[in-house]
Structure 1
Amino acid sequence: MISAINGPVIKGKNMTTFKMREMVTVGDKRLIGEVIILEGDIGTIQVYEETEGLKIGEVINPTGRPLSLNLGPGMLKNMFDGIQRPLEKIQEISPIFIPEGIGLLSIDDKKMWETVLSVKPGDALAAGCIFGTVSETEVIKNRLLVPPNLSGTVIEVVPDGSYTIDDVLVRISDHKNQVHELKMAHEWPIRTPRPNAYRKETLVPLITGQRVIDIFFPIAKGGTAAIPGGFGTGKTMTQHQLAKWSDADIIVYIGCGERGNEMTEVIEDFPKLIDPRSGKSIMERTVLIANTSNMPVAAREASIYTGITIAEYYRDMGYAVAMMADSTSRWAEALREISGRLEEMPAEEGYPAYLPSRIAEFYERAGSIETLGGDEGSITIIGAVSPAGGDFSEPVTENTKRFVNVFLALDKSLAYARHYPAINWLESYSGYIKILSDWYEDNVAEDCISLRNKMLELMYEENKLQEMVMLVGEDVLPDDQRWVLEIAKLIKVGYLQQNAYNKDDTYVPLEKQYAMLKAIEYLYERGREGLKLGIPTSQLKDLNIFGQFIKMKYTIPNDDLSGIDRLKDEIDQYFEVLFKKYEN
């Protein structure tokens, strides 16, 4: 029974029969909680609902199982809270707020799904094998999985037809002659990673259509990335772009501790977005999880694990999953609040000492794998980080940086200058350049990575020159350095800056991304030829040509790049006339 109440943290006595991490129901309202500490007969529980109105002496009931998700058809196109309760169904029960004690609602157990089974009596089914399919949406087929902890020989199969997630579809007999029932859905604990056959090296990029990411700081499919930035720098907007346009099969988007209006924007915008691959709504392949800032803090801590468990479920079907967590800082703050209520010894800035290991455990669940059933699947984790005051030296950002391979640092000054995505090219990096270089050489161009490196070097050089310009002014610089400044400015405005509201610029295919950067390099090299002839930068810079370069992201369609060739012809015509004048 309850002996102490401290916000979402409850202490109970006479709990010797309870298990660590067991899911429990607390009090007369039967609030959902989880055992997190056991000391003798005293247990500590974190409750995933509001605890207002609980009283000392109310009963704590065990369930005999850990906090788990019901994984099956019906998750796509849906929106859940931090412990997988569907918000649409909750709204029918209580239109304004989430009521206490509504229980562990899950995916719809009444809906009939048209099911096609692919096994027959006598077939051997190993753990993780696919035994049938359901058209979960118009775009995605849900491949019905044997739970990872079951295997055996098929002894009974129902005929193809319409069934609910609770109907028994297949019965199997294991090596002990015990009979197990296979349904569309099965449960899995959120804190236990789902097993796989083995991990594979990540050799393919996640194509996002964002130039600064795809060419300069690519993310591998099955990789990890962090997007840190202070308030107003565009973390959520950048993640929305990645969720909308990345070439993953499934999107899992977690709004963790963010403002309600941001999640409202997601709910309103995503159904209207047309998936460029299927022509259908992007919600056909999206799962939304919302634990906004006014929802229970303990459920916020669980929401990250809910999202990654759902992602692993679709990965095990052989899909490439992209998971967006916005933001892991709010998750870390939930850890800090619960740790404080548990009276644990605080570490740096009040965060618990186990913060680094929790962040590492989360990002470790990303990766490209061979599934137990022999397919290939992947999870790419892209986590936003919200350091207070934009301070990247604070614990969450620093520890995240240790465990991710792509760091997309958002810059306040770029955001305030309306340069989006506000990714700072000097502080950002990608650890996947080396392993992805072969893919870029084979699928984009042989010199794609070397071109990227050359342009980044120009940006680094421009940064050094800007320090001199601030001291002595641009006019005293030699012409070759002034030319670097002009080209770097062109790269910033004409290439790295991208307009999410323009139909041709919101998503840019890799072919156009490369062609645009190659054209800028061509202009740079022609200008260097002119410098050798003694032509001043003021003459090399033709305002008409530079203006066309800045506008080419809008004026040249994604499916017709002939305009870039015409632009190169204009460059040649201009420089040939200029060269003749100075040669004579």
Structure 2
Amino acid sequence: MLNTATIYGINGPVIYLKGNTGFRMSEMVYVGKEKLVGEVIALTKDMTTVQVYEETSGLRPGEEVVASGSAVSVTLAPGILNNIFDGIERPLEEIAKSGGAFITRGVTVDSLDREKKWEAHITVKEGDFLRGGDIIAEVPETRAIVHKCMVPPEVEGTVVHVVPDGAYTIDETLITLQLNDGTTKELTMTQRWPIRVARPTHHRFPASTPLITGQRIIDTMFPIAKGGTAAVPGGFGTGKTMTQHQIAKWSNADIIIYIGCGERGNEMTQVLEEFSQLVDPRSGNPLMDRTTLIANTSNMPVAAREASIYTGLTLAEYYRDMGYDVAIMADSTSRWAEALRELSGRLEEMPAEEGFPAYLASRLSAFYERAGMMHNLNGTDGSVTIIGAVSPQGGDFSEPVTQNTKRFVRCFWGLDKSLAYARHFPAIHWLTSYSEYLGDLSPWYQDHVSPKFVDYRNRLMALLNSESSLLEIVKLIGSDVLPDDQKLILEIARVIRLGFLQQNAFHKDDTCVSLEKQFLMMDTILYLYKQARALVTMGHPMSVLKSENIFDRVIAIKYDVPNDRLEMFKQYHRDIDAFYQHVLEKNA
């Protein structure tokens, strides 16, 4: 018999139940006649507090609240990919069929299609002893991803019955286990898992492999590891969403979970339309074949916005347990923090900095802590990489969400308003950004790209830092009074900024660039700097060097050298040598 109670008070999405209800902490409940979904968030012997994940207009004291007997959980089974959910894993397509364009209150739809039959290949036989995480069946979920149905983490036993290969729904029994206590348990393709509990793993690996995105300023200058964490902070219009789109499309992650948390409805509509049209460059299939979207727009209830982050995390961990590399795009964690602030205010908790709750830092750390490269219970290796956009008001990076996020992520891609307005994309500023993964990933770059890769990257950063110092002098006294060697640094830094850091997402060769091409571009730029510096040392003025047009030719490498014609870089070395000889002869 499930516990019930009656509503005593209502404060926005928060409702209060008087007396000892018998409810449990974090239990899911159904509120009122429309059975709105809620979660128990506070308990005392005299009062139970529930946050409701739907609009509470029209609720009245005295209406009944019914316990579900379990925590807020998601359904894990084939059908998650190529789907769009709201913040508590209700498919928007099914909601639209029953309630139209807007989510109606109390709508009850199954998270996944329970009628569809999936072709299952059973991978175990009678007599096998199975532990939590072991794979029992493989199901082609999409053209890109094979879904691996697993034993729930807390279950182990001996297989006593197995069905033959064939088509089954997600609720039909595939195998029967005899547990250690003698009872039997039927396993289907479906698991349920509470969203606020991390799924167990065997152990965590240190960062050692980069998530390759094809974006030069990320892969070369500020790399992120598989299983790593990154923040993308930036003001309005600086390109947070577009940066995440590029990573989602081009990174070497197997699966993308995109969480639109509190974003504008028109922006989420654009995301949904664009993602459904994108083609996966690796397979030629639609990108949605390996993508799940969680849409929780700004006009949806704040409590569901707070839950959407955990829903996406749990889906990601489930695919990680199968041995896949998963990348989460959380856009944006600031809206999630604002939902925490609103709920905290409703609960009359003591506010901390800028009204955010005192536990903001611990919630952020718990979120990012669930990332990692893991050795799973079934012996496979998988990773969850979290890339969280941060939307500081007015682009102020000193506000609490940005500052607390910096404490828990190891990669910080600071977007700059002036770069974005100058049409320099990605607008990641090289002086405010950093990556703590560079040292961890250096051995990988040495083994897989070139032993010189990290050295070249550091030399480019040194030139950009020198440019920053020189520009302060130029502001005061102008560039004409600088010596030629410093004018050369300014010119080479311009080549680095325009020819290497700036990238055109709409150009077929520049939208995604291999690490090999990135290395050859650095090599060419630094070779030009070496030869030009030799000429300047001999006394040749920068005005002569700039008249030769070689600097602009090197900037155009990103367009002029196709990704499948990397041998053309040798010609650029010959052109730089010819430029060197020509200047020598001209001024002999």
TM-score for the superposition, normalised by structure 2:
0.98
- Secondary structure at the aligned position of 2:580 is classed as helix
Which AA in structure 2 matches 1:194?
R
Which AA in structure 2 matches 1:141?
V
Post-superposition CA distance 1:364-413 (Å, at most 9, x none): 00000100000000000000000001111100000000000000000000
Shift of 1:15: 4.1
- The CA distance in 1 between the partners of 2:499 and 2:183, in whole Å, is 66
- The CA distance in 1 between the partners of 2:233 and 2:385, in whole Å, is 17
Is contact 1:32-1:104 (8 Å) kept? no
- Matched with 2:489 is 484
- Matched with 1:36 is 41
Is contact 1:254-1:326 (8 Å) kept? yes
Is contact 1:31-1:103 (8 Å) kept? no
- Matched with 1:498 is 503
Post-superposition CA distance 1:129-152 (Å, at most 9, x none): 101100000110000111111111
Q: Give ranges in structure 1 of 5+ residues lacking alignment.
A: none
Is 1:526 aligned to 2:523, yes or no? no
Is 1:103 aligned to 2:108, yes or no? yes
- Range 254-263 or range 313-322, more displaced: 254-263
The 5 A counterparts of 1:322-337 are 322-337=327-342
- Matched with 2:267 is 262
Which AA in structure 1 matches 2:376?
T
Post-superposition CA distance 1:240-284 (Å, at most 9, x none): 111111100000000000111221122111122221211111111
Which AA in structure 2 matches 1:65?
S
- The CA distance in 2 between the partners of 1:157 and 1:399, in whole Å, is 50
Q: 2:371 aligns with which of 363, 366, 371?
A: 366
Q: 1:186 aligns with which of 172, 191, 202?
A: 191
- The CA distance in 2 between the partners of 1:400 and 1:104, in whole Å, is 35
Is contact 2:368-2:386 (8 Å) kept? yes
Is 1:174 aligned to 2:179, yes or no? yes
Which AA in structure 1 matches 2:374?
I
- Matched with 1:276 is 281
Shift of 1:102: 1.2
- Matched with 1:9 is 14
The 5 A counterparts of 1:349-388 are 349-388=354-393
- The CA distance in 1 between the partners of 2:341 and 2:58, in whole Å, is 24
- Secondary structure at the aligned position of 2:480 is classed as helix
Is 1:309 aligned to 2:295, yes or no? no
- Matched with 2:403 is 398
Is contact 1:171-1:180 (8 Å) kept? yes
- The CA distance in 1 between the partners of 2:66 and 2:106, in whole Å, is 13
Is 1:285 aligned to 2:287, yes or no? no
- The CA distance in 1 between the partners of 2:407 and 2:454, in whole Å, is 25
The 5 A counterparts of 1:404-443 are 404-443=409-448
Q: 1:219 aligns with which of 206, 224, 228?
A: 224
- The CA distance in 2 between the partners of 1:388 and 1:203, in whole Å, is 35
- The CA distance in 2 between the partners of 1:411 and 1:213, in whole Å, is 15
TM-score for the superposition, normalised by structure 1:
0.99
- The CA distance in 2 between the partners of 1:466 and 1:339, in whole Å, is 46
Which AA in structure 2 matches 1:110?
E
Is contact 1:326-1:383 (8 Å) kept? yes
RMSD, matched Cα? 0.9
Is contact 1:115-1:160 (8 Å) kept? yes
Is contact 2:95-2:109 (8 Å) kept? no
Q: 1:566 aligns with which of 565, 571, 583?
A: 571
Is contact 2:261-2:296 (8 Å) kept? yes
Which AA in structure 1 matches 2:508?
K
Aligned-pair identity in percent equals 59
Post-superposition CA distance 1:11-65 (Å, at most 9, x none): 1124431100000000010000000001113110000011111111000000110
Is 1:71 aligned to 2:76, yes or no? yes
Is contact 2:94-2:109 (8 Å) kept? no
- Secondary structure at the aligned position of 1:475 is classed as coil
Q: 2:345 aligns with which of 340, 344, 352?
A: 340
Is 1:55 aligned to 2:38, yes or no? no
Post-superposition CA distance 1:124-172 (Å, at most 9, x none): 1110010110000011000011111111110111111111111111110
- Secondary structure at the aligned position of 1:192 is classed as coil
- Matched with 2:513 is 508
Shift of 1:214: 0.2
- Secondary structure at the aligned position of 2:540 is classed as coil
Post-superposition CA distance 1:42-100 (Å, at most 9, x none): 11000001111111100000011000000010000000000000000001011221001
- Secondary structure at the aligned position of 1:474 is classed as coil
- Range 72-81 or range 537-546, more displaced: 537-546
Is 1:455 aligned to 2:460, yes or no? yes
- Secondary structure at the aligned position of 1:476 is classed as coil
- The CA distance in 2 between the partners of 1:418 and 1:118, in whole Å, is 53
Which AA in structure 1 matches 2:16?
K
Which AA in structure 1 matches 2:466?
E
Shift of 1:549: 1.6
Which AA in structure 1 matches 2:555?
I
Q: 2:480 aligns with which of 475, 478, 495?
A: 475
- The CA distance in 2 between the partners of 1:204 and 1:178, in whole Å, is 44
- Secondary structure at the aligned position of 1:32 is classed as strand
- The CA distance in 1 between the partners of 2:554 and 2:568, in whole Å, is 11
Shift of 1:543: 5.0
Shift of 1:225: 0.3
- The CA distance in 1 between the partners of 2:425 and 2:441, in whole Å, is 25
- Matched with 2:23 is 18
- Alignment CA distance shift 1:52-1:480 (3 Å): same
- The CA distance in 1 between the partners of 2:352 and 2:548, in whole Å, is 56
- The CA distance in 2 between the partners of 1:556 and 1:452, in whole Å, is 20
Which AA in structure 2 matches 1:525?
K
- The CA distance in 1 between the partners of 2:439 and 2:547, in whole Å, is 37
Is contact 2:31-2:66 (8 Å) kept? yes
Is contact 1:368-1:378 (8 Å) kept? yes
